[in-house]
Amino acid sequence: MSLLRLRAVLRGPGGLRGPGIPWRIFRSYSSASTKEKANRNGPCERTELLEVLKARAKQLQGSNVPEVTVSKVELAALDNDKYQEAVVPGPKEKQPIPRAQGHGLARSSSWAKRLQKEMYSQQPKMKQELGSAASQLGLENQAKAEATPKTKAMKSSKIPKTKAATAWNQSSGSPQNKPRVVEVKGAAEMKRPQRMPKDKSNQQVLQQTIQANLECFLSLQQAEEAERYLLLCHSSPVKRNVLDVGAFNTVMRIWARKGSLNRLDRLFSILEAAGLQPNLDSYAVALECTGRSQSPPKAILRYLQQLNSSGFHVDELFQKCLFEEDEKEMVLRAIRTVQPNYQLPPPPSPKICKSSLLQDFYSRETMGSYPKLDFSVKELQERFQQQLRMELKNTVTIESVEAAKPLTPQAIKARELLGTLRSQWRDAILQALQSSKRSMARPKRMSKYNVLYPYLCLLPDEEYVDIMLQILNDLSPQGESLAVLARELGSKVYDRYIIQRKLRSGQLEKVQQIYESYIQLLAKDSQPKQYLPREYWEKLVAEAGFGPSLNLKTCSWPCVLLMRLGMHMLELLVKAVKVPRNILNRRLESKPIPVLYHVYSFYSNWQVGLIRPHPIFSQLVSNAAETTLTFNSSAMPMLCPPVPWTSPTFGAFVLNDTKLMRFMDDTTHHQLLLEQCPLVNLHPVLDALNQLGNCAWKINQPVLDIIISIFNDKGDEKLDIPPPLSEAPKPPTPPGNSSMWSKSFKHEVFLCKKKAAEMHSLRMDALYKLSIANYVRDKVFWFPHNMDFRGRTYPCPPYFNHLGNDVTRAILLFAEGRPLGPKGLDWLKIHLINLTGLKKKNALQERLEYANEIMEDILDSADHPLTGRKWWMDTDEPWQALACCMEIAKASRSPDPAAYISHFPVHQDGSCNGLQHYAALGRDLSGAASVNLVPCGLPQDVYSAVAQQVEEFRKKDAERGLKIAQVLQGFISRKVVKQTVMTVVYGVTRYGGRLQIEKRLKEIDEFPEEYLWEASHYLVKQVFNSIKEMFSATRDIQNWLTESAKLIAQSGRTVEWVTPLGLPIIQPYYRSRSTVLNCGMQRLSVKTSNGSQKPDTVKQKNAFPPNFIHSLDSTHMMLTALHCLRKGLTFVSVHDCYWTHALTVDVMNQVCRQQFVALHSEKILQDLSEFMLEKYCSSSSSSTEPIAHWQKRLKEQLSNVPSTGEFNLKQVMDSTYFFS
């Protein structure tokens, strides 16, 4: 997430986030004491009071119990009880459970002695050993005081001995294994028993939390704390259920790094006694420890024999395990201690994708050398170093393109003041953070933030301060949702932690080493190589041999943890940052006041907490008129070719963590699917993403300069250049007392504020894009790509990329230039007319002739864009049209236009691409003709055809005397039905379609307003009927997909399928649940949905048809990208809009059609049916249980694949307007 966010205030005050965030966070009650809030929140406050009374009742009951039975009381987890309840809510207990409440030794001595006696009497038993260790760990506070918060191993703080102390006997006499003593005071504060989670969702979050905590200890090298926490979790019935061998492996890794074999042996024994089977990673860790501690051969042989008896082979350690730092070398050293002649297994021979669609592509016989970039090895090495420096800094500060205001004495003074204040704030935040950490580390009753302590030690203190100051600097005057800021703070810490892990594991050094060799594939002064980027990188990794693995397994932090960490940092920021009240007005008293304050705003029926800056701070920032913007390094285009994708977890940026597949928070099914999928099946998708990311770009400087000049001259809404806030409509003057304000006046004020917020959002968006473009104006850059869960591809940098609007696309050029060739200039002219939208129904030749007729206007636009006739301004895409005019002018004026080197991208658009896929799937003859799958002299316009069909229905109804049909006479046009026709294929409902048509009818001034609802209701019905008649096979397929998804979701499963390229897909639509977080500032209820919840049947059903079609259009695009690579073309796409040089448009068109025919020649629907029958309806032959009724229905539904028509797919090859 970038440091700079658009502060759209489209939902009222406060800039609340809506659809942009997959989870919604709201406050369920407020402690504010206004009458309005009291009335509104009465029931909520009564609920809160009830909760307090219940808690007090339990407390009183607990204090009346003289002795607590140990077997019935769970030991306190590392997490506090509130946190645990938020993560793992359980059913309400009918009987309150007695709870120890004492804070001194007297009250707890009775049961403590009993606990001590029981531990000593049963210590030989393994089960009781676990209980004993866990008991001790529960009594000992988990947060240890640290001398310095560095990533080195931290010493445990000394704990006073007491009479009731218990010793943990160890077999070894090493200093690490001396008996340890604990104070019983903390034991008296045991929490009530944890209850079993009701559903898998709680278990998943709990498992993530435990693993994240253990990895945190691993990063800090806190072996003792990690082991205590692990055994504590093991003593809890709830947590034991979710503990897996991976948790034990994490703790054993810490001991292995220390070479402590005794401690590792003990954990290995506990692991097996717990009923868990050691896996390959367990043996790798054990052997690493023996190698590091140079253990005797007997110990090594014991583990090697156990490895073999578990069914593993020693070679698998090096083939399947992931290593960090020198772990691989230590494992090898151990093995060679007992087998001196052991040799590493040779790297596996590369697997070749067997997809029938790509047999030619992956054939070595037809493979040519990979195309070179126009850079030398040395230049690419320098660019890599620039990119690495940028990512290591985490942020990039650039100059804004906003016209610099004259530097007034007021601005100079404001900047000096801000500089002084920021320096003071940095010290104050650092002091507050360190004080907070000291407080957490003190041995005392566990506070709700103790669980966060290790997470506040992962980075140097200064980095936490930097993150908090960045949030402060980016806060808009309207403020931001407290939950959004908390989430962002937590996410920033996580991102930096991942980078720290990569640095510490030695991954960066290895990436640098391999990238230097990888450059040989791309540099113009190196030998040609017949490898794809992925293949060449994999070859170099295999040759590198030792060192860390590049695919490090990272445990994502659960949303609840990120929120808690962010909330704690936000509270520190709010408390620490203050400003003198009289800083702008010396007549006021010099009293420090908070810079940030916490307020509430209503969002629907919920109160939402906001953080707003004090007006004094906003005024100071405004006066300073600073001219810089700060972005995350991942928000910027790359300055070197991206690291190629080689797996679902490795690729794109050098250091910044990037997912291959974008997915919503806490939804992990996609990642699991990708990890379980054989890597060879993902090769086509990875290679396509690499090909898109390897396209080099540069800036069209003349167009950028014109856009910036208009941007700084009050903008121009007609040209999509947002005006500044100074141009926003001014709210009317209030008529006296606020009690006298009329409803219409209030509404007018609201509209003015809403418009101002929208203008601010759009202005900021344009400012970011133009500033980034200006920053790279003299550079060559790249956009690494990833994809969404359907396989649709997107550039990773979020602000400035070729998927942007007309303004953004106009300032982008291919860095590689190619001569126009004999037809290139004609294609530029046709492309220009396509951008104007003036000749959509005309043949290509007619468009070319029209371009030649208006050549004078084209040249005038190029020469005098702002002072001439301005023909370019009256087009559909004015800025791209202007850029094209300039390119045509240069080419036509060159001595030989065919030899003119052009960098300009020419586009070819699919004709209602979703319907094209439906028509091809169903071999629908009439539908295929409507969407240009059939050759025709003129382009067929499906929207006009539907409008014509609707008009025929209307005429018949009007003749029968239907009033609304008569009213609609003369109002049915292509524009009225276009949006609905376009979105029918993507699952729009009749309700949504009616709203679309109503909006279009409102735009017609002559249409009678009183008939809007009735007319839109009638028209949407006729549009659906027309499409059903024109695309009969399309509706049959859509209905089959919808009904299949409905039955699958009703059975409690999510809809999954595999694309023809082998990409596994799962729909991430689940019922959401709320998790309540009791934070210091306010109580948050976080709505999340993840794969452990039941599927959302309605979303699963409605989304399947459009998502399935999107997965097909992405497959077609990837096939086209890969085959264009084989033809030596530059190719990028914006979904169903394909870009290449003017010289190669004809070749791209041919490839595009070939791949569409090849794709739809596969048995797509039949394969889908077979896959789903196997996944959802298969039952073992030995099973004697009767087949459920739902399973029978689903089997019948999936088996009944829609029949296909007579359309001959090969006709697409000769269709000029299929893509044009």
List, by residue number, the catalytic residues. 909, 978, 1136
CA distance 733 to 718: 29
How far is the CA of 772 from the CAs of 474, 631, 637, 768, 1021, in angstroms?
17, 9, 9, 6, 47
Q: What share of the chain is helix, strand, coil (3-state, %, to 5)?
A: 55, 10, 35
**Token couple for 93:** 């207990």
Give the SS3 label for residue 991.
helix
CA distance 1149 to 1124: 10
Query: Which DSSP symbol is given to 931?
Result: T
Burial class (CB in 10 A: 0-12, 13-18, 19+), 423: exposed
In the block, residue with structure tokens 């997107």: 794
Query: Which DSSP symbol is given to 1150?
Result: H
Count of beta carbons in the 10 Å neighbourhood of residue 93: 11
Interacting residues of 816 by C-beta distance below 8 A, sequence separation 6+: 373, 374, 696, 903, 1130, 1141
**Token couple for 850:** 């029209």
Q: By C-alpha distance, which of 645, 766, 694, 582 is closest to 4?
A: 766
Q: Could you write out the DSSP letters of every residue in 600-640?
A: EEEETTEEEEEEEE-HHHHHHHHHHT--EEEEEGGGSPBSS
CA atoms within 13 A on the CB side of 1152: 33
| The amino acid at 7 | R
CB 90 within 8 A of CB 198: yes
Our separate counts of H helices and E strands in the chain read 43, 24
> N- to C-terminal Cα distance for the chain?
36
How far is the CA of 731 from the CAs of 36, 740, 751, 754, in angstroms?
26, 16, 9, 11
**Token couple for 531:** 């490898």
Q: 600: which strand partners?
A: 609
Q: Which residues of 175-192 are buried (b: 16+ CB within 10 A; e: fewer)?
A: eebeebbbbbbbbbbbbb
CB 863 within 8 A of CB 880: no
CA distance 20 to 1032: 36
CA distance 1001 to 968: 10
Helix axes 679-693, 1097-1126, angle to 10 degrees: 70
CA distance 896 to 890: 11
Question: Dihedral angle at the C-alpha atoms of 883, 884, 887, 889, nearest 10 degrees?
Answer: -110
Q: By C-alpha distance, which of 934, 814, 1088 is closest to 89?
A: 1088
Q: Could you write out the DSSP letters of every residue in 50-82?
A: HHHHHHHHHHHHHHT-S---GGGSPPPPSS-HH
Interacting residues of 680 by C-beta distance below 8 A, sequence separation 6+: 351, 352, 353, 354
Q: By C-alpha distance, which of 812, 728, 727 is closest to 769?
A: 812
CA distance 643 to 650: 8
Instruction: Cite the DSSP H helix spans in 634-736.
Output: 669-676, 679-693, 701-711
In the block, residue with structure tokens 């809809």: 1055
- Phi then psi dihedrals of residue 460, to 5 deg: -60, 145
